[in-house]
Amino acid sequence: MKIEMADPSRRSDVEAWLREPRGEVVKDNRVRSVHRWNGLYVKRFKHPGVLQGLRGRVNDRAASEFKLLGALRGRGLPVPEPVAWAREGRSTCLFTREIPGAQPLREVPLTRPLLRDLALLVRRVHEAGLRHDDLHVGNVLLAGGSLHLIDLHRARLKESLTAAERVKGVAFAVLSFYTLVPRTEVLRFLRACGADPREVWTSFRAQRERYWQDRQSRVWQTGSDFQKIDGLILRRPYAAEEARRALCAPPLRLVKELPRRRLWLADPTTFVKEGRGDLWYNGFALETRGIPTPRLLASAGDRVVGRWIEGARPLWEHLQAHGVERGLLWALARVVRRMHDRGVFHRDLKANNILVRGADVQVIDLDRVEFMLEVPRGQRTLNLAQLNAAVGAPATRADRLRFFFAYAGRDRELRKGWKGWVREVMRRTVARRHVWPPPE
């Protein structure tokens, strides 16, 4: 056992924990765990296996973070106080002093003053020459009205950061909270950072796409979220027995039957979908990108098992039963715009592939979904025409225009050229042999 102390008064506590790990387990996975005990946080890097152990000695993240914390506190940055670094076998541990009353910034409402403080913290970090490749709201603590930066094992201290590194750091921070606040607050954050919004937007989109691709790839791997077992891929904690029961049980009700595309209920809360394409991957990819779709639980070849949305109806059936509600138009328009902005193109986005229950809108039939950086105009107008052609009465001309302007949102370019967009949508609608104007 090897120990290096920054605070000798806590040596007995460090040695006691190393002899017998104890306290609250805050996080635990294959590569590291985090424990909270007696006013200390202990980050333990496990280095499983011989090869990982050798890598851990060459690149000791606990030792690196221990030294970095001391250097950053010397520069006045708000980071945890290092207490000790220790090596025991293949594991290395970092001990830091607990920040009283601290909570992750992602767990509190992100008010305008908090976002301004976060922007000022990002500027201070960059001006100090710290390249933190994991600077997000989950790694910033709020305590006593002040922000503190944590989890620095992926950070490096340099003489100064390049302009590209600063832009990338700001974009990564935005990636962690942009879905939680209005766009105007994101722009205020960028101004407080002193960043060019156009440069940040380019970096943000590239990083967001890499993040989504990384998350989506996990559907094929055994990990904290998914498990591969006996020809099945399961979403934890869904059990293999439940999946087999749903796949093998006689259909309770056949919902749809087309060549190579069937949908049936295995029980009142579970459906089985058989289809073309990669339903399992596409379903999780939509969920990762924030697009509402039924939650998938298991995959077996060309079949998936998912949660049935009881009481939901296809869009046109809902409109015929309940009429056209402005709230529903806005909700549907926001979902379609979000799909396009987040690179989701559904080749068969018709009324039967939109489920509605109350104010909730869900996208289904994911056999023909494609993913890209951003959906171009031609494919956007195709989706709008598909929906327009698939919905007849009681939707009126005025309803359709309301939907379009809700889709446009605050996009100045789209609103300015709305007549051209509408003409193009109508041309493609007519090409789908839709009878226009619709019956009033």
> At 56, is the pLDDT very low, low, confident or very high (cuts 50, 70, 90)?
low
Lowest mean pLDDT among 22-36, 56-70, 168-182, 388-402: 56-70
pLDDT of residue 352: 86
- CA dist 73 and 204 (Å) reads 29
* Amino acid present at 47: H
CB neighbour class for 37 (10 Å; exposed up to 12, middle 13-18, buried from 19): middle
DSSP 23-61: SEEEEE-SSEEEEEETTEEEEEE---SHHHHHHHHHS-H
**What is the identity of the amino acid at 175?**
L
**Which tokens sit at 16?**
């006691």
Tokens of 55: 């890598």
Q: What is the pLDDT of residues 247-279, one digit of tens each?
A: 998 998 888 887 778 889 999 999 999 987 689
Quick one: average pLDDT of 56-69? 83
The CA–CA distances, whole Å, from 9 to 12, 89, 156, 229 equal 8, 24, 28, 50
- Cβ neighbors of 439 (< 8 A, separation 6 or more) are 392, 393
Q: Which two tokens stand for residue 165?
A: 């590194």
- Rg, the chain, Cα only: 26
**129 by DSSP, 3-state: which?**
coil
Region 376-387: mean pLDDT is 95
Rounded to whole angstroms, how far apart are CA atoms 419 and 249? 53
**What residues pair up with 68 in beta bridges, in sequence order?**
none
Torsion of CA 118, 122, 124, 129, to 10 degrees: 160
- The C-alpha angle 87, 89, 91, rounded to 5 degrees, equals 60
User: Has residue 438 got a pLDDT over 80?
Assistant: no
